[in-house]
Chains A and B, each alone.
Chain A
């Protein structure tokens, strides 16, 4: 063998045992590249009529869907063999545990639904670029890595991989001023927040001498924390706070959510949030478990602020994407309540809620996408949603189900999620916080009902546009409806799964 290759071989030997751990991520990334390459060589593509850059990437949607499905199969395989494959890989950079596997599966399901909705959307909006799919998949790969990272450097890298894709996707319809504005805002504030995160990581590294979460936890211990350590923790919290849009770090999200293409908004509201929240939870519970009494009051305040600002601001919105943006801020607040509980029940509620939230939010966005017409996303609740339930009974019924799930009415996933979070909060003795969450939920009922009121009790303004729901969108809708009901009617198995998945975390 060529001796010059020896270092490569050594490197391979080093990572070989670890490769199995990232098979799902590798699959998703590989198919992202396949999608791009297939388009590059015009495999199965037809060029659009005279519009040089806008070909029809016939392969890209199917390749990316296939990649995500294979990724899900691989995740399932990991989940089934968790006893054997569970553990730490790449020198502790990546960890395979129930928490990561469960949330990676949630992210992939979310990505799959996003892709199904995207196919119809792109056809309608004439966004015919394989890059679109490539960016979604790479972003998903970043999310999956993020939920499995066990090292602050890895967390940082995965976070960036996830974010860059989403920045670009936000501004994908680059001829629209609002899209450009949103993308720029997202990018600048995202970079800004990354600065906080990196500075925090640097401080923590300086004080503990390690990037590894567990080792940092050992170094931090229970002892009295130095002010610098707390400053590092605070900076990391701010960084994550931006990513998951906690109040007061949420300012960007309504503009960005409104600017992005509707399927991408759904993807951001669920995938990005799930991944960043997972990393935050892992970081807090692994590295700063000993200082829980320091960060719990902070999160308590953030939770209350986030729930109330999100819900109160959502009441005034007429644009449904903006309304759902504020709603997703509010739901981030509920998730923080689960973190404040800081118990195994709290973590299980947290994980369950992320799954429920992903399904119901993506379902709602799928309806939003389905109701749009070319060039006009039709997102004004008062103008575009009047009487929808009678023109499109199935879409109306599905949307009503998602709205009731977001409110938290049984028997839906959203109800049981909220119930689990309430349980965790009460169990941990935060009855006051639970009552505040009740009040926030009641406020939220008002604006979710506004959508139902418009659809069922309103009349259409002007001649309603005829729409056809693409087959793939229908599949996505059926999947989310079934998921929301299944999680709500048979919560037992799911909550057991959620419990098992967080067993290693606490």
Chain B
């Protein structure tokens, strides 16, 4: 009997919730400190994954498999591959920072807030490590509830509208995916006679293209809403802007990755032929997302909205890389998931810090801050450049690999999307310039304090990782390479022309 390592990682936050429940709701500092301790312990618990995961080992490791609902063949089935390891670590790495960033900002219902943050962590980690589609769905919906509350209770003025919109968008996608899961499940049963939601079992069957197309759309819609891909992105600006700082950070850094991760883990491998047939459509939407997100970001007078729309643009790149279906592109896409988590997460933290000082996100209200807050300016600059994709920082590695990968298969798409890179540099630098440089127009900007110790503790770890990936991405690429190669191999295993012909004659393959 081995230690159920993944179960521990997933459910440790729930234990933390029990701990918080014992603390009286009025002792705010005790609650904050306990949550911080729990999240740091949680990160410490998950860090060994980085070394324990055998790069050249089995495709999935730390597997746990126990029957749950035997009548339906549902199993509690967890496991990680190289990509999951990074995403799990990204999540546990950001949680203590998120707690730190909420220290001042959250002053109402402190206990409820921190309990929900912990529950959210469990939901997100569950999504990443689930290898049974039912378990995956359960966690997928479970994480919806705490996020809904976090936006709805602690958000800005339009919070209720934003939280309900967020909930309904995700819910409709999730339920359609559930129907898709069931169709696949019964199809598998008709072929093999066994009931199973295990990803490995469902991967093993051949699904005719006609069914694949429908199922890919059902799964894809759920994930596309989450990513979010154009035109399903409209919930994102609302949710990101209304959410409290930590909520925006988690939404951008982790929850958006669930969409792309869903494509990587489920939608594409389960329905590879459909994914390849629909590639032009998906790639077109991704490119539209890149350009549209960038152009809307260009005209935003509000920093937080600008960062939110830049996410739409960046996630377009991630999708593009995934659908390159070659090792370089997918590698880039995976690294870009982490990068976006770090740099956009940091940008939202920075937005929150500006807001705590001035209670506004309007770019117009700032100006000349670099002289007042030099340390802040330095960190903000690094993060901005990372988001743009300056060589030497993390963003460059991801975007470069994605463009190389896409260029090999669809040069026009790659060419178009480079416009997005240029636009990103323009809107980010312009925003940075207007906030940090120039004369100090507004007297209230003059006396702003520079970063405190707590704020440094939030930003410095992120900056370190940003530089690390930028300078020496090899450990990250090494860990994901075998998983990515398996993914590409699986997707491109069948001869697409033959498959496309089979849709005409319906010949059994």
Q: Which residues of A contact B (CB under 8 A)?
A: 390, 404, 407-411, 415, 419, 422-423, 426-427, 431, 434-435, 438-439, 441-442, 445-446, 449, 453, 456-457, 491-492, 495-496, 499
Task: A212 to B204: give the CA distance in the assembly, Å.
Answer: 50
Cβ–Cβ contact A438 & B176, under 8 A: yes
Binary CB contact string for chain B from 14 to 31 against chain A (1 if under 8 A, 0 otherwise)? 000000000000000000
Residue of A nearest to B142 (CB): A410
Contact size range, B: 20 to 34
Which residues of A lie under 8 Å from residue B69 when comparing CB positions? 491-492, 495
**In the complex, B277 has a CB within 8 A of chain A:** no
* Partner-binding segment picked from B37-45, B152-160, B279-287, B381-389: B152-160
**In the complex, B416 has a CB within 8 A of chain A:** no
Residue of B nearest to A420 (CB): B72
**In the complex, B186 has a CB within 8 A of chain A:** yes
Residue of A nearest to B161 (CB): A453
Cβ–Cβ contact A409 & B179, under 8 A: no
Residue of A nearest to B144 (CB): A409
Task: A427 to B167: give the CA distance in the assembly, Å.
Answer: 28
A494 to chain B, nearest CB (A): 9
Which residues of B lie under 8 Å from residue A441 when comparing CB positions? 171, 175
Closest 3 CB pairs of A and B: A426-B182, A438-B175, A492-B69
B113 to chain A, nearest CB (A): 12
**In the complex, B149 has a CB within 8 A of chain A:** yes
Binary CB contact string for chain B from 172 to 196 against chain A (1 if under 8 A, 0 otherwise)? 1001101100110110000000000
Task: A415 to B149: give the CA distance in the assembly, Å.
Answer: 19
Given known contacts A409-B142, A410-B142, A415-B141, A423 and B160 CB-to-CB distance under 8 angstroms: no
Cβ–Cβ contact B172 & A427, under 8 A: no
Task: A491 to B67: give the CA distance in the assembly, Å.
Answer: 12
Cβ–Cβ contact A445 & B167, under 8 A: yes
Task: A419 to B69: give the CA distance in the assembly, Å.
Answer: 12
User: Which of B163, B168, B172 sits near A438, CB closer than 8 Å?
Assistant: B172
Cβ–Cβ contact A409 & B145, under 8 A: yes
Residue of A nearest to B182 (CB): A426
Binary CB contact string for chain B from 101 to 145 against chain A (1 if under 8 A, 0 otherwise)? 000000001000000000000000000000000000110011011
Residue of A nearest to B183 (CB): A426
Cβ–Cβ contact A411 & B138, under 8 A: yes
Cβ–Cβ contact A446 & B144, under 8 A: no
Which residues of A lie under 8 Å from residue B164 when comparing CB positions? 446, 449, 453
Task: A427 to B188: give the CA distance in the assembly, Å.
Answer: 11
Residue of B nearest to A450 (CB): B164
Task: A361 to B163: give the CA distance in the assembly, Å.
Answer: 25
**In the complex, B2 has a CB within 8 A of chain A:** no
B19 to chain A, nearest CB (A): 18
**In the complex, B71 has a CB within 8 A of chain A:** yes
Task: A491 to B145: give the CA distance in the assembly, Å.
Answer: 21
Cβ–Cβ contact B172 & A442, under 8 A: yes
Cβ–Cβ contact A411 & B142, under 8 A: yes
Which residues of A lie under 8 Å from residue B137 when comparing CB positions? 410
Residue of A nearest to B190 (CB): A427
Cβ–Cβ contact A390 & B109, under 8 A: yes
Which residues of B lie under 8 Å from residue A426 when comparing CB positions? 179, 182-183, 186
**Given A409-B141, A426-B183, 18 new contacts (CB under 8 A):** A409-B144, A410-B138, A411-B138, A422-B179, A422-B182, A423-B185, A438-B172, A441-B171, A453-B160, A453-B163, A456-B149, A456-B153, A491-B69, A492-B70, A492-B71, A495-B69, A496-B71, A499-B71
Which residues of B lie under 8 Å from residue A409 when comparing CB positions? 141-142, 144-145
A102 to chain B, nearest CB (A): 15
Pairs A–B under 8 Å by Cβ, sample size 8: A404-B145, A410-B142, A434-B182, A435-B176, A435-B179, A457-B160, A492-B69, A495-B69
Between B70, B71, B109, the greatest number of chain A beta carbons within 10 A of the residue's beta carbon is seen for B71
Which residues of B lie under 8 Å from residue A422 when comparing CB positions? 178-179, 182
User: Which of B109, B171, B176 sits near A445, CB closer than 8 Å?
Assistant: B171
Task: A426 to B72: give the CA distance in the assembly, Å.
Answer: 14
Task: A423 to B69: give the CA distance in the assembly, Å.
Answer: 14
User: Which of B72, B141, B160, B172 sits near A495, CB closer than 8 Å?
Assistant: B72
Binary CB contact string for chain B from 478 to 506 against chain A (1 if under 8 A, 0 otherwise)? 00000000000000000000000000000
Between B70, B142, B149, B175, the greatest number of chain A beta carbons within 10 A of the residue's beta carbon is seen for B175
**In the complex, B426 has a CB within 8 A of chain A:** no
B76 to chain A, nearest CB (A): 11
Which residues of A lie under 8 Å from residue B152 when comparing CB positions? 453, 456-457
**In the complex, B472 has a CB within 8 A of chain A:** no
Residue of B nearest to A429 (CB): B186
Which residues of B lie under 8 Å from residue A415 when comparing CB positions? 138, 141
Cβ–Cβ contact A423 & B182, under 8 A: yes
Task: A410 to B183: give the CA distance in the assembly, Å.
Answer: 20
B380 to chain A, nearest CB (A): 32
Binary CB contact string for chain B from 191 to 219 against chain A (1 if under 8 A, 0 otherwise)? 00000000000000000000000000000
Task: A33 to B337: give the CA distance in the assembly, Å.
Answer: 69
Task: A4 to B396: give the CA distance in the assembly, Å.
Answer: 104
Cβ–Cβ contact B183 & A446, under 8 A: no
Which residues of B lie under 8 Å from residue A407 when comparing CB positions? 171
Task: A445 to B178: give the CA distance in the assembly, Å.
Answer: 16
B148 to chain A, nearest CB (A): 8
User: Which of B72, B142, B159, B176 sits near A457, CB closer than 8 Å?
Assistant: B159
Task: A453 to B70: give the CA distance in the assembly, Å.
Answer: 37
Cβ–Cβ contact B168 & A446, under 8 A: yes
A488 to chain B, nearest CB (A): 9
Task: A237 to B14: give the CA distance in the assembly, Å.
Answer: 48
A436 to chain B, nearest CB (A): 10
Residue of B nearest to A423 (CB): B182
Residue of A nearest to B155 (CB): A457
Task: A434 to B176: give the CA distance in the assembly, Å.
Answer: 9
A59 to chain B, nearest CB (A): 40
Task: A435 to B171: give the CA distance in the assembly, Å.
Answer: 13
Task: A428 to B442: give the CA distance in the assembly, Å.
Answer: 67
Task: A390 to B112: give the CA distance in the assembly, Å.
Answer: 10
Residue of B nearest to A435 (CB): B179
